[in-house]
Structure 1
Amino acid sequence: MEARREWCMLALCILFFTGASADVFTSMSDMHTLLETEGEVIRTMENYVASQEARLLQLRRDIAEMGAVHRQASQSPDQFLGHPINAFLLVKRLTLDWAEMQTALTQDTVGQAVLANLTNQMGGDLKWPDEEDLSGVATALMRIQDTYQLDTSRMAQGYINDLPPAYRQLSAGDCFELGRQSYNSGDHYHTILWMTEALERLDSDVDVPGIVTTSPVSRADILEYLAFSNYMQGHVKHALKLTNELLELRPNHQRALGNKVYYEEALTNAAEGKRGEDGEQLKDEAVQKGYTVAEETEEVEGDTAAWQRERDSYERLCRGEIRTSPSITAKYTCRYQYGPHPLLRIAPVRSEIAHIDPTITIYHNVLSEGEIEIIKQLALPRFKRATVQNYKTGALETASYRISKSAWLREDDHETVALVNRRISQITGLEMSTAEELQVANYGVGGHYEPHYDYARQEEKDAFKSLGTGNRIATFLFYMSEVTGGGATVFPQIDTALWPSRGSAAFWYNLHPSGEGDVLTRHAACPVLLGEKWVSNKWIHERGQEFIRKCDLDQDSLT
């Protein structure tokens, strides 16, 4: 009401004090003109009220939709947020869509006060996503799309394989935003996929109920991104065609006019047998999909073909397409393990051989529900973005090929941590005093860790120098959640996949008895497709194991 009163006073001031005479009462003819003035005031105020009512009505619809989605999500937050499309839409609502609402709030003093109150809470109890979060969740969707070979149109309908759909399908604006984020990261392959889907949804007028207010995406905006990304992928003729369509809609579009000339010149040069510009050079499949190149992701040493073979094996394992032949699995055993610790004679553990050479063992039900929850609660307040060690500098840094948050737990943090450490020692027979602290990790949307070694290679001489405990001789990996889709631990060199099972653990030696690294233990965490993934790692070091696992001069010795 206060804002409305202020606007009324302003309108009246404009009407009565802009070039108006103050002596209208002295003439009845002038008094008649006041009726016209009053009529104009009425029409102006009616228009103002109508526009405010329309704005508030739209805000009411937006809030009602957000409330309905929020209530649905609150019934089962893990299940709701475990769907990557739901997660993307949530981050988008609290970034782009919220920005639209902020604009509406700034139009009156009451809204400004509400906005100021929320802004004050941004640095306190409330967590707000930013542009990096929006970019991260969009990139995660692309990663999932590639790894699991998901159809763009099917994803836009809210489906991830045959799993339950998202709470709603994507609008043309949502698809446009995914394309825009891909474009900003230089990933023109996915820009084309998602901008094409945005265009199709815009043209077919797909009815997507329950979408909060966002700036409407135009056909011209889509065409501009689509044209340039096609050019960057080497499709120059198609880029020119799309640019001409754009110019039909916006004849004075300066970038489009410049690009048109550039594309025409590129086609002319190509016709004359000249080498085209950078955009005309077709990128190989890895670059098209926006993958990071070898040096950053610790790729297999060697040529691109070796990297591509590993990549293919990694993705096929993640999709469950590679199965061990029955003739090999027949050699694997499942048994109760009664040693090496005497306690296992009374309480043996169920062990299963998942692979021989290198030997990978799965231990079932080695963490109780209570222990899992205690470890999670201890880790949550300490979570930080997971890091990797730069093999050149030795510094810890975040990387796009490892998406998770982690925390380190010491034995004196809680008796459960000490108990878990003792249990690992009892099962493996290895000394824990030189092992690293228990690392707990929670993977985010599409969370993954690309192929890597747990041990330090010869060129990484200073990797664990500060610990003074030698190299990582073995890995004990606990699974602390069931994952609805994806999230396997895979070994591309030996075509083996381990699928998370809550309470189980995997164990393998990273080093041969000679101390040489076992290259076959190179492994990866597949992107989480649906659900949530919790794990904890115990990296066991060489020092203290000298009389437990004796050295062998044969560097390839397995025992």
Structure 2
Amino acid sequence: MNSILQKLKHQFMLFNYRRNYYLAKLFPKKVPIAPLYYLPSGFSVHMVANTGIRIVDNFCTPEEAEYLIKKARDHLARSKVIVGNKAVDDSGRTSSHAVAFHRHYQDSNVLPIIARGAMLAGVPMDHAEQIYVSRYGDGEFYHGHYDFSDSFMSDHRLCTMLIYLNDLEEDQGGVTYFKELNIAIQPKAGRAVIWTNMNPDGSIHPETAHAALPPRGEGIEKWVIQIWFRPYQMHPIHEKLAARQTSTGVPLKGDEELPPGTWIPSNTAAQPSA
């Protein structure tokens, strides 16, 4: 009896496979966006002990960081904080910022960054809030704060991603400081810092209070982009990433920089047969 049931299950499984195969032939789906293709070379995720914080080096490319700084520099305004459901000036936040992406301004150059963040957060791209690029000059800071509150403006922020756009040396300050977790993180161009603000049941993570300490030195700047993801759609994304993973690969010429463990065989004998 058991063998008969096993055979029936196997036949049913094959039927489902064949059905899905022929349906895909008749009604082919568009190739889905694959954020994996948009990961920069050297993209690496590091756990910070048991703090719940993840650091991702090479989250964005030098070109992306330079582009964001250049675009934001001429559009900076005083950064605000959320009180109730209003954005107001506050002496505890002295930085300036500019919008990088929102419902009515969707820059296609920012989409790969959102795609990477959404992949790590495990949510769709359109769950990202309006995105800002922030600038901290000499002595400017943002005092200790949480990225969530009881107001709609900052409630239900599942996770935060801070992406540094330029380097700062240790003696230049500008670290992100988590007092309760006893950790400071040094800005490095392309580095992202990621943490969750709340559990699926809505309870908060009180240890995620953090501060942006001031950079020190004449002419010193810290540039960072903030992305907050929520458990529901925030801004429908109109621009679409091209499904570049469908493009034809280009054979190596010999002058490319290759990652460790890969090379161009010097003769056909070294090449494995197909």
| 2:158 corresponds to | 473
> 1 CA distance for matches of 2:138 and 2:125?
33
* Pairing 1:120-519 to 2, within 5 Å after superposition: 343=37, 349-357=43-51, 359-391=52-84, 394-410=85-101, 412-456=105-149, 460-464=150-154, 471-484=156-169, 485-519=172-206
> 2 CA distance for matches of 1:487 and 1:504?
14
Deviations 1:291-312 (A, max 9, x none): xxxxxxxxxxxxxxxxxxxxxx
> 2 CA distance for matches of 1:346 and 1:395?
37
More helix by share: 1
Normalising by structure 2, we get a TM-score of 0.65
> 1 CA distance for matches of 2:193 and 2:133?
15
> 1 CA distance for matches of 2:151 and 2:57?
36
Which stretches in structure 2 are left out of the alignment for 5+ residues? 1-33, 235-274
Matched AA of 1:381 = D
More strand by share: 2
Count of aligned residue pairs for this structure pair: 195
Matched AA of 2:193 = A
Sequence identity percentage: 27
For the 8 Å contact 2:128–2:233, the answer to whether it is kept is no
Q: 1:542 aligns with which of 231, 236, 241?
A: 231
Matched AA of 2:81 = V
For the 8 Å contact 1:472–1:510, the answer to whether it is kept is yes
Deviations 1:391-413 (A, max 9, x none): 4xx32111111111101122654
Normalising by structure 1, we get a TM-score of 0.33
Give the deviation of 1:351 after TM superposition.
Answer: 1.0
> 1 CA distance for matches of 2:159 and 2:165?
19
Matched AA of 2:189 = R
For the 8 Å contact 1:421–1:432, the answer to whether it is kept is yes
Give the deviation of 1:519 after TM superposition.
Answer: 0.4
For the 8 Å contact 1:341–1:429, the answer to whether it is kept is no
Give the deviation of 1:513 after TM superposition.
Answer: 2.5
Which stretches in structure 1 are left out of the alignment for 5+ residues? 1-339, 465-469, 546-559
Give the deviation of 1:435 after TM superposition.
Answer: 1.3
Return closer, same or farther for 1:461/1:503 CA change in 2, 3 Å cut-off: closer
User: Greater RCO between the two (CA within 8 Å, min separation 6)?
Assistant: 2
Give the deviation of 1:494 after TM superposition.
Answer: 1.3
What's the RMSD between the two structures over aligned residues? 2.5
For the 8 Å contact 1:474–1:511, the answer to whether it is kept is yes
Matched position secondary structure for 2:127: coil
Deviations 1:190-238 (A, max 9, x none): xxxxxxxxxxxxxxxxxxxxxxxxxxxxxxxxxxxxxxxxxxxxxxxxx
Return closer, same or farther for 1:533/1:376 CA change in 2, 3 Å cut-off: same
